[in-house]
Amino acid sequence: MQSNLKMDGRKVQRNRCRIDSTVKYLNQQAVGRVLNVSRTGIAVELSGRFHAATGSNIVIENDDIGLIEGTVRWRRDGRLGIQIKQTSNSLAQMSAYFRHFHREVRPVLCR
């Protein structure tokens, strides 16, 4: 089936997870949780207010993946979709995460 919306579809499968994280943008900082992750993107649910527009460069920091830089691609209902900047460092971090730390998480409750 082909879409007529002329939107790019997701090219890489995302895997569910729950990783407590800190999201930083300029002088703002918010606590959140990574909900799903792929080698090219991350979805984050934020627990507080956070003002970063689509296209903003942000930094995500957590214990499992480390420090990742990315760009906000979408934002809805306290969630952010982040495209990871494709540098050699970020590619190595994501490969190490999937090799050593990732465990698929199933949701307990549905929204």
pLDDT score recorded for residue 65: 85
The number of C-alpha atoms within 13 Å of 73 and in the hemisphere containing its C-beta is: 16
Place of tokens 């579809």: 9
pLDDT band at 4 (very low <50, low <70, confident <90, very high): low
Number of domains the chain contains: 1
What CATH number did the domain enclosing 76 receive?
A: 2.40.10.220
Range of the domain at 34: 15-99
pTM metric for this prediction: 0.74
Per-residue pLDDT of 46-101, as tens digits, reads 988 888 899 999 999 998 888 999 999 999 989 999 999 988 888 888 878 777 76
72, 52 contact by CB (below 8 A)? yes
